[in-house]
Amino acid sequence: MRMSTKTLASLLLVTAVAAAVPGISRIPGSKRRQESQFDRLLQRHDRKGELRADVLGIDAQAFRTLQKKLTFEEIAKKRGFGNARAFRMALLGKLKNELHQRGWTTHRIEQYMTMRSGRIG
């Protein structure tokens, strides 16, 4: 995965908040875009779909092909995720694992999330 460690850590924090309180990042009244700020943030940082495809258990090219035909929720359901929260929990685990592989300890991850979670809200 070719994301910076800082981006992974930020995505981990936002994913944890989005998974804990479903619908917290949904924008009320926006008829044009019904997706949440979290989904747009994830899409921006994961432009090629590598991270989402890895969590879904498919390759990035197949994920991009499916995205042209189906919504993300439909793709996730076909890959065995019951809802968006289940996917976000799996993504949270994937991000933590990636940070562990890059040398972060569990204590450092928890400390980062505690320190930064006060800024979100």
Which value, to the nearest 10 degrees, does the dihedral of the CA atoms of residues 56, 62, 64, 67 take? -70
Mean pLDDT across the stretch 97-101?
Answer: 96
More confident residue, 101 or 17: 101
Q: How many domains does the chain have?
A: 1
Provide the pLDDT for residue 1: 64
Residue 47: what are its φ and ψ, rounded to 5°? -55, -40
Provide the pLDDT for residue 39: 81
Q: Is residue 30 part of a domain?
A: no
Provide the pLDDT for residue 32: 46
Q: Would the pLDDT of 33 be above 70?
A: no
Q: Is residue 60 part of a domain?
A: yes
- 52 — pLDDT class (breaks 50, 70, 90): very high
Q: Is residue 62 part of a domain?
A: yes
Which of 109, 91, 90, 89 has its CA nearest to residue 9?
Answer: 109
